[in-house]
Amino acid sequence: MGTYRLMRQDDNGNRFLVAKGLDPAEARRLAAEFEARGHKQLYWAEPDGTERPELPDGTVRNA
2, 15, 24, 38, 59 from 52: Cα distances, Å: 17, 9, 18, 25, 10
pLDDT of residue 63: 46
Rounded-to-integer distance, Cα 20 and Cα 34, Å:
15
Under DSSP, the state recorded for 18 is E
pTM: 0.70
- Asked if pLDDT for residue 57 goes beyond 80, the answer is no
- Asked if pLDDT for residue 55 goes beyond 60, the answer is no
Cβ atoms within 10 Å, residue 45: 21
